[in-house]
Amino acid sequence: MQYLLENLPYILSADRHSQKIVFETFKFYMLKQPERFTLFVQAFAEHLKNTDESYEPVRKVFLQHMGALLTVVSDVNHKQLGRELLLAVVKFKENQFCVDFINYILNESDLRAPYKTLLEQLLKGKDSEKIVDATSLFRSSKRGRKPSFARAESVGTMKQVNYLGGMEAS
């Protein structure tokens, strides 16, 4: 992960033929290893967000890749991947190029309607994670028994550790 965080910006600065290879690689790992890919995307987006202005072209290329991957996610209708990619995109919401890019995706893309409405809400709203969590597209449609503590999607590993540690302390 550290190697990719340090060196992927140089690869994203390469020509369009290299970008095709990067996109196909992203798409392959996104579909084969969705959990690991979402961890990488979130970490890389956070890393790019905290870099200086010289990384502006790299951010733009990264957003273009995320937009292309979002159309793939929309085609396969993988809700968790869609959620994580949208959260990675809106990390750059303060930058004007991100707003322009999201508007371009909304107008020209083959995204499903729920993803488009969610992108519109994310552009207008303040707290992106609460907006995504509240959207019906990302809520479970399963009925019946609730998942166990370990399988609940909204409770990550660290939250489980904190919760269990707090119960033992009390």
What pLDDT is recorded for position 145? 61
Q: How far apart are CA 62 and CA 45, in angstroms?
A: 8
pLDDT of 51 = 85
Read off the pLDDT band of 44 (50, 70, 90). very high
| Residue 113 near residue 71 (C-beta atoms within 8 A) | no
Backbone angles phi, psi at 72, to 5 degrees: -65, -45
Provide the domain limits for residue 93: 2-140
Pairwise pLDDT comparison (150 vs 12), residue with the higher score:
12
Higher-scoring residue by pLDDT: 82, 137: 82
Residue 19 has pLDDT above 90, yes or no: yes
Q: Which residue has the higher pLDDT, 72 or 168?
A: 72
Reported pTM = 0.71
Q: What's the one-letter identity of residue 73?
A: V
pLDDT at 62: 92
At residue 78, the pLDDT reads: 83
In a domain, 151, yes or no: no
Whether 164 maps to a domain, the answer reads no
- pLDDT at position 30 is 92
Give the mean model confidence (pLDDT) for residues 71-94. Answer: 83
pLDDT tens per residue across span 108-129: 767 787 777 777 777 777 766 6
Within a domain: 60 = yes
> Is residue 156 included in any domain, yes or no?
no
Residues with Cβ within 8 Å of residue 99, at least 6 apart in sequence: 93, 123
* Residue 161 is assigned to a structural domain of this protein: no
**Residue 159 covered by a domain:** no
What is the rounded end-to-end Cα distance, in angstroms, of the chain? 37
Residue 158 domain-assigned (yes or no): no
Domain count, the chain: 1
pLDDT band at 40, cuts 50/70/90? very high
Residue 146 covered by a domain: no
